[in-house]
């Protein structure tokens, strides 16, 4: 919802654009800047900043600079090389020189002229960056996974709800039509009563020991570590395929990749995955070297609703997937979500949607049936939410549920025990050792407060 401060800021931008001074970009005002020819006037554009502009962050920059209803004005990163690359990209996209750069995220999230913040920093920073933006009244697009702990997830959820700001989770498969179609068919009973969901994704990547080396001149290493424990810098530590498999900064692919197909499981199963459940998992965690996240896993989750969720890394396919692959010939595609009901099955991944019978996919919508949020673009869906206040396709409650599932899988494997999860209390039942791991200390001065 717009407040008086935001409206005043947009009114100023509208007047500034008419004088040819919008955010340092070209002084020539085209028809599009005045809102003609189907374009959005500057006074109605959502002004955006981005925190974390490495590989994934650059992808988000490309998406938002393509949105006619948004204007990206600032980027933030603890690596000055990333900053220079991102600013050059933004300036090139708009044909100007006005993109501001920040190393300290507080400088960007505290700006009065920004409505929304994109967050694609390392996983251990996601929630702290998002909290800073939300507490400044800004909408947030947060890359997955959500937090390094369930305590972080809950703190962010509570602030988003309390302040009523827009939130979009980076589970962009919800904005692809085949995923929505599969979930709607399942929710409307096309495959009969749902009894099993199979979820799979790529396994993690192990790295051996790395020597301690000087910190690169372009990197503010203390800021990069942030709330994580201090560790000496090792070569390439801040690169995606290194930190992603170190538990100080991430849960690894069990959350960072797997949350994509798992989120679709939640979307398709609906209330059946909102009941109490048991987690029981096994997996491999490296005994030596830098990487200590779960690399390979097999987890069974049994819900009180009667639903079984079978979640595995690839290659270690379910027997069902082997049979499915023989039927449809996908060459053991390395990720997907399959819903199995009493009357058939439907599977969906980024390649295609398939079913036990073509008739299932051809089923016509029934009057009064379930209709899920339709989004053709994850970024544009977010920008429109910031503009109008309507919910996004990947709201905070859904993000928290899927993230909690991944945390429970990880802890079941690490503790080597069956765990009971209470979704109402958002904690484990009669397992104090597991419940204690739903939060972890942060290095000073960083806190969730």
Q: Residues 110, 226: one domain?
A: no
Q: Residues 108, 234: one domain?
A: no
Count of structural domains, the chain: 2
Residue 403 resides in a domain: yes
Residue 116 resides in a domain: yes
* Residue that finishes a domain, picked among 143, 173, 203: 173
**Which residue carries 């419940």 as its tokens?**
435
Q: For the chain, how are helix, strand and coil distributed in percent, rounded to 5?
A: 40, 20, 40
Q: Residues 139, 269: one domain?
A: no
Minimal CA–CA distance to 422: which of 278, 270, 259?
Answer: 278
Q: Residues 189, 64: one domain?
A: no
Residue 384 resides in a domain: no
Q: Residues 199, 255: one domain?
A: yes
391 contact partners, CB below 8 Å, separation of at least 6: 373, 385
Residue 96 resides in a domain: yes
* Residue that finishes a domain, picked among 173, 188, 204: 173
Give the DSSP H or E segment for 347.
Answer: strand 344-348
* Residue that finishes a domain, picked among 145, 173, 201: 173
Residue 304 CA: distances (Å) to CA of 144, 275, 279, 301, 326: 27, 6, 12, 10, 32
Residue 308 resides in a domain: yes
Residue 381 resides in a domain: no
Structural domain boundaries enclosing 58: 4-173
* Cβ-contact 437, 190 below 8 angstroms: no
Q: What is the CATH number of the domain that holds 212?
A: 3.30.360.10
Q: Residues 189, 143: one domain?
A: no
Q: Residues 132, 199: one domain?
A: no
Q: Residues 100, 150: one domain?
A: yes
Q: Residues 315, 365: one domain?
A: yes
Locate all alpha helices (DSSP H) within 121-258, ordered by sequence. Answer: 126-134, 150-163, 177-187, 221-225, 240-243, 253-256
Residue 449 resides in a domain: no
Q: Residues 264, 149: one domain?
A: no
Residue 445 resides in a domain: no
pTM of the model: 0.89
Q: What is the CATH number of the domain that holds 19?
A: 3.40.50.720
Could you read off the pLDDT tens digit of each residue along the chain, which spans 449 residues?
A: 334 334 334 433 433 333 333 444 433 333 334 333 445 555 679 999 999 999 999 999 999 999 999 999 999 999 999 999 999 999 999 998 899 999 999 999 999 999 999 999 999 999 999 999 999 999 999 999 999 999 999 999 999 999 999 999 999 999 999 999 999 999 999 999 999 999 999 999 887 778 899 999 999 999 999 999 999 999 889 987 889 999 999 999 999 999 999 999 999 999 999 999 999 999 999 988 889 999 999 999 999 999 999 999 986 555 655 655 555 444 457 899 999 999 999 999 998 899 999 999 998 877 789 999 999 999 999 999 999 999 999 999 999 999 999 999 999 999 999 999 999 999 999 999 999 999 999 999 999 99
Q: Residues 53, 9: one domain?
A: yes
Q: Residues 137, 250: one domain?
A: no
């Amino acid at each position: 919802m717009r407040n008086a401060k935001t409206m005043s800021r947009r009114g100023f931008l509208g007047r500034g654009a008419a004088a040819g001074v919008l955010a340092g970009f070209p002084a020539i005002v085209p028809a599009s800047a005045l809102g003609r020819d189907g374009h959005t006037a500057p006074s109605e554009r959502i002004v955006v900043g981005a925190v974390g502009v490495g590989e994934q962050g650059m992808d988000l920059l490309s998406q938002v600079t393509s949105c006619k209803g948004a204007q990206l004005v600032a980027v933030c990163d603890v690596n000055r090389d990333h900053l220079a690359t991102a600013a050059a990209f933004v300036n090139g996209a708009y044909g100007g020189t006005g993109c501001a750069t920040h190393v300290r995220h507080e400088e960007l999230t505290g700006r009065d002229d920004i409505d929304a913040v994109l967050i694609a920093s390392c996983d251990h920073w996601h929630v702290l960056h998002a909290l800073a933006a939300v507490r400044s009244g800004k909408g947030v697009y947060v890359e997955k996974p959500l937090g390094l702990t369930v305590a972080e997830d809950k703190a962010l959820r509570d602030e988003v709800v309390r302040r009523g700001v827009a939130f979009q989770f980076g589970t962009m498969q919800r904005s692809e039509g085949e995923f929505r179609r599969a979930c709607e068919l399942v929710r409307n009973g096309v495959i009969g009563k749902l009894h099993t969901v199979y979820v799979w994704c790529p396994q993690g990547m192990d790295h051996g020991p790395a020597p301690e080396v000087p910190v690169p001149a372009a990197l503010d290493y203390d800021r990069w570590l942030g709330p994580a424990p201090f560790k000496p810098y090792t070569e390439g530590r801040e690169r995606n395929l290194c930190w992603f498999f170190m538990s100080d900064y991430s849960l690894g692919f069990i959350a960072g990749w797997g949350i994509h197909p798992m989120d679709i499981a939640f979307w398709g199963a609906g209330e059946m995955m909102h009941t109490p459940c048991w987690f029981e998992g096994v997996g491999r965690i490296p005994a030596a070297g830098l990487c200590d996240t779960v690399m390979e896993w097999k987890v069974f989750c049994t819900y009180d609703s009667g639903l079984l969720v079978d979640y595995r890394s690839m290659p270690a396919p379910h027997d069902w997937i082997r049979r499915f692959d023989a039927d449809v010939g996908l060459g053991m595609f390395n990720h997907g979500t399959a819903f199995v009901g009493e009357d058939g099955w439907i599977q969906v991944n980024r390649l295609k949607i398939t079913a036990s019978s073509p008739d299932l996919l051809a089923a016509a919508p029934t009057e009064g049936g379930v209709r899920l949020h339709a989004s053709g673009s994850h970024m544009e869906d977010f920008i429109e939410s910031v503009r109008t206040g309507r919910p996004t396709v990947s709201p905070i409650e859904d993000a928290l549920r899927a993230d909690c599932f991944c945390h429970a899988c990880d802890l079941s494997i690490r503790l080597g025990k069956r765990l009971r999860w209470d979704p109402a209390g958002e904690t484990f039942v009669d397992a104090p050792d597991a419940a204690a791991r739903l939060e972890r200390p942060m290095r000073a001065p960083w806190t969730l407060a």
